[in-house]
Structure 1
Amino acid sequence: MNPITLSASAARHLNRLSADAGHPILLRVAVEGGGCSGFQYQLDLVEAPEVGDTVVAYDGAQALIDEVSAPLLAGSIIDYVEELVGAQFKILNPQAKSSCGCGVSFSI
């Protein structure tokens, strides 16, 4: 399976959140059924991994992927982008054949 990676930008943002909070903040990335294209990403900030999570680390920051979502995210880059309309974590998934305009929903 192709590795899931955390970008430098995402790591910097997670490290900044952790410093502000005074304890580690981890990004949980999951794929759920639903959305306008069949699957949707669920992103949450958490303090600890759960049993079975895959840990994706870069420069001290960590993202967590559950074992069901991992195959659907294989080869993905977890990024953090700052644009005119706002800043957000973004999943660059090479398996996604199409996605909706919001970028949260996709199909394989």
Structure 2
Amino acid sequence: MSPEQAQVGGQVGGSCTSGPGTVPLPELPEGHQGRPVTLTDSAARHVTRFLARRGKGVGVRLGVKTTGCSGLAYKIEFADEIAPEDVIFEDQGVKVLVDPKSLPYIDGTELDFVREGLNEGFRFNNPNERDRCGCGESFRV
């Protein structure tokens, strides 16, 4: 895996994805809390080290796309610039950029970076998740 690819929950790719995520996001019920997206110490250290090694970047961009057997999947990438529509959080010196359409689905999420055996990757601790597919590739709110 190249450093540009972000691994989520120990999974790269997956067998239950149903497409590239071009379908519009489903409507979310009213009542999301507007809580910040945060990083654990481990995630902040990983992002900071990786941005320094890359020699460029302003932070990490998080979002969701429609795909998989449960409906939504996380997107994560290192961001080189801030888009005008981005919602920006800063935690432990790291900028977290979220597109406004994804924000209700990841509102209050904590991004962690974990190592389990030979696997390492980002894990989303999302209080809005109600269900996750068996392979861990997608989720539902």
TM-score over 0.5 (shorter chain): yes
1:39 pairs with one of 72, 80, 86: 72
Aligned partner letter, 2:109: S
Deviations along 1:64-91, one digit per CA (max 9) or x if unpaired, are 1100001111111111111114111111
- Tell me which structure has the larger Cα radius of gyration: 2
Aligned partner letter, 1:2: R
- Tell me the matched-pair count: 108
- CA distance in 1 between counterparts of 2:78 and 2:69 reads 24
- CA distance in 2 between counterparts of 1:53 and 1:13 reads 22
TM-score of the aligned structures, taking structure 1 as reference length:
0.88
- CA distance in 2 between counterparts of 1:80 and 1:71 reads 22
Segments of structure 2 that go 5 or more residues without pairing to the other structure are 1-33
2:98 pairs with one of 65, 68, 74: 65
TM-score of the aligned structures, taking structure 2 as reference length:
0.69
- The equivalent residue for 1:86 is 119
Asked if structure 2 preserves the Cα contact closer than 8 Å seen for 1:11 and 1:62, the reply is no
- CA distance in 2 between counterparts of 1:66 and 1:103 reads 23
- CA distance in 2 between counterparts of 1:2 and 1:25 reads 22
Q: Percent identity?
A: 34
- CA distance in 1 between counterparts of 2:59 and 2:77 reads 8
- Which has the larger strand fraction? 1
- CA distance in 2 between counterparts of 1:101 and 1:56 reads 31
SS in structure 2 of the partner of residue 79 of structure 1: strand
Aligned partner letter, 2:132: S
1:56 pairs with one of 89, 99, 119: 89
Q: CA deviation at 1:12?
A: 0.4
